[in-house]
Amino acid sequence: MKTEPQSAAPATAFTSIKEVETHVKTRMDKAIADLQHDMASIRTGRASIGILDHLRVDYYGTPTPLKHMANISAPEPQMLVIRPHDASAIKEIDKAIRASNLGLAPSTDGKVVRLNIPPLSGETRKKHVGAAKEFAEEQRVAVRNVRRDANKHIDQLEKDGGAGEDVCAKLKEDVQELTKKFEAEINALLEKKTAEIME
């Protein structure tokens, strides 16, 4: 899933150090949330309801997220069970899963849809690790863009007399520290996901 680019600096001029700090933290937190969401969509050898997060089902002509139409559970390590709120939607749910790139074959008894999660082949594992790395790199770039934008705002703040030189220099150091912290968090999420895929 492509996340919205975070490269363009907001037009808003900040009037205080606090505003810049809050803005940086909010955008970096969003990068982590986006990465967690993207990582959940990558299949591992274990059943995870997150792999169905992006799945949309044609429900009376409207593409509807599956999670809004059904209860999804993982009663066993290798199985997902989908219980639609409306049993008449089972055929469309089955169709959407088959048409997706998940590579799963649903089975249904008319009331629930069962998905057996087969073990991943070596080649598939490598492909999934590659996707996880791409997602992580996207968010690393997003975090660095936040740092770049913050530095522009800090320079502007200093120029406009909103804060002194020393305060602005300290804020830039703080932003750099935050950047390192969030990059480390991204690396940790990637490492965790890679371990799950390879186990």
| Per-residue model confidence (pLDDT) at position 1 | 43
Which DSSP symbol is given to 88?
Answer: G
Go through the domains of the chain in sequence order and give each one's CATH number: 17-41+122-198 (1.10.132.20), 49-116 (3.30.1360.40)
The residues near 16 (Cβ < 8 Å, ≥ 6 apart) are 157, 162, 163
| Per-residue model confidence (pLDDT) at position 148 | 94
Q: Average pLDDT across each block of 10 residues of the chain; the chain has 199 residues. List them in order.
A: 44 73 93 91 78 86 89 88 90 89 84 85 89 96 95 88 85 94 96 89
Full-model pTM? 0.71
Tokens of 130: 């590659």
Helix (H, G, I), strand (E, B) or coil at 12: coil
DSSP H or E stretch at residue 181? helix 165-198
Is residue 142 a contact partner of residue 3, using CB atoms and an 8 Å limit?
yes
| Per-residue model confidence (pLDDT) at position 185 | 96
